[in-house]
């Protein structure tokens, strides 16, 4: 409890644009405004066919509601600031990077290969240095999952350099 109070005080001492509540509220509002603008590009149903409200009306109302509530949480946070979150460790950024690597490999090379690379990468970055365990998470387990989905669910994985060899 004392720690939380301390973290809150630390947050209050920062200029407003560095505070989490400002940054989070700003991001939500900016995204909501962008989406709100998008709703004006939705097709409009001609009055003769329109029954009830236009397709854009409901999302518009939701986005306005989100913006209003976000302003409200920001206003409340000026009175009762959020606690300062700890800095994220390197392992977090590496895991995030592994997601990106997964996306690139699954799009360009192979879906199955992407799973293997991510598994080995994450396991290694989280501290696993033993070869057997790296092989277990990176090759043995994904192969089991692949066979299971292939044979039991009859799933066909997207084409790629490894899956093409298997399917041919």
Partner 1 sequence: MDNLLLMMAPLFSSKLLLVLFFGTLFGLILGVLPGLGPTTGGALILPFTMTLDPLSAIVLLTSIYCAGTYGGAITAVLINTPGTPAAAATCLDGYPLAQKGEAGRALGMATVSSTVGGIFSVIILVFFAPILAQLAYEFGQPEYFALAIFGLTMLASIGEGSPIKNLIAGAFGILISTVGKDFMTSIDRFTFGINELTEGIGFIPVVVGLFAMSEMLTQSTLINQVFNRIALKAIKLPSKDDYKKTWKTILRSSGIGSFIGVLPAEGGTVASLIGYSEAKRFSKKPEEFGKGSIEGIAGAEAANNAATGGAMVPTLALGIPGSATTAVILTGLIIHGVRPGPDLFREQPDFLYGIFGAMLIANVLFFIFGFFGAKIFARITLVPNKILWPMIFAVSVCGTYSLNQSIIDVWIMLFFGVLGFFMRRFGFSVVPVIIGLILGELVEGTLRQSLVIFDGNWLMFFTRPIALTFFILSLIALAFPLIRSKKFKK
Task: Please report, as ranges, the residues that interact with partner 1 according to CB under 8 A.
Answer: 20, 24, 28, 35, 38-39, 42-43, 45, 49, 51-53, 55-56, 58-59, 62-63, 65-66, 69-70, 72-73, 76, 82, 85, 88-89, 91-92, 94-96, 99, 102-103, 106-107, 111, 115, 118-120, 122-123, 126-128, 133, 136-138, 141-142, 145-146, 149, 152-153, 155-158
Cβ count within 10 A of residue 31: 13
Q: What angle (nearest 5°) sits at the alpha carbon of residue 123, between those of residues 101 and 111?
A: 40
Considering the complex, state which of residue 2 and residue 51 has its C-beta at the smaller distance from partner 1. Answer: 51
Q: CB of residue 120 vs partner 1: minimum separation in angstroms?
A: 8
Considering the complex, state which of residue 13 and residue 50 has its C-beta at the smaller distance from partner 1. Answer: 50
* Sign of torsion over alpha carbons 125, 127, 131, 135: negative
Give the Cα separation of 90 and 122 in Å (integer).
12
Considering the complex, state which of residue 20 and residue 162 has its C-beta at the smaller distance from partner 1. Answer: 20
3-state secondary structure 54-84: CCCHHHHHHHHHHHHHHHHHHHHHHHCCCCC
Q: CB of residue 148 vs partner 1: minimum separation in angstroms?
A: 8
DSSP characters over 20-54: HHHHHHHHHHHHHHHHHHHHTTS----TTT--SS-
Q: CB of residue 168 vs partner 1: minimum separation in angstroms?
A: 19
Considering the complex, state which of residue 41 and residue 168 has its C-beta at the smaller distance from partner 1. Answer: 41
Considering the complex, state which of residue 9 and residue 143 has its C-beta at the smaller distance from partner 1. Answer: 143
Cβ count within 10 A of residue 24: 15
The residue to which tokens 């518009």 are assigned: 60
Q: CB of residue 154 vs partner 1: minimum separation in angstroms?
A: 9
């Amino acid at each position: 409890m004392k720690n939380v109070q301390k973290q809150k005080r630390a947050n209050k001492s920062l200029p407003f644009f560095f505070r989490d509540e400002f940054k989070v509220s700003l991001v939500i509002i900016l995204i909501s405004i962008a989406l709100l603008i998008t709703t004006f590009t939705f097709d409009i149903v001609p009055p003769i066919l329109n029954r009830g409200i236009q397709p854009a009306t409901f999302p518009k109302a939701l986005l306005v509601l989100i913006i209003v509530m976000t302003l409200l949480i920001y206003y409340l946070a000026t009175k009762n600031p959020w606690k300062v979150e700890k800095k994220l460790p390197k392992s977090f950024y590496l895991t995030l990077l592994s997601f990106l690597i997964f996306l690139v490999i699954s799009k360009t090379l192979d879906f199955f290969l992407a799973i293997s690379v991510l598994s080995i990468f994450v396991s290694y970055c989280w501290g696993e240095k033993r070869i057997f365990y790296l092989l277990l998470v990176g090759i043995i387990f994904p192969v089991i999952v692949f066979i299971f989905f292939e044979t039991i669910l009859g799933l066909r994985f997207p084409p790629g350099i490894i899956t093409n060899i298997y399917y041919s």
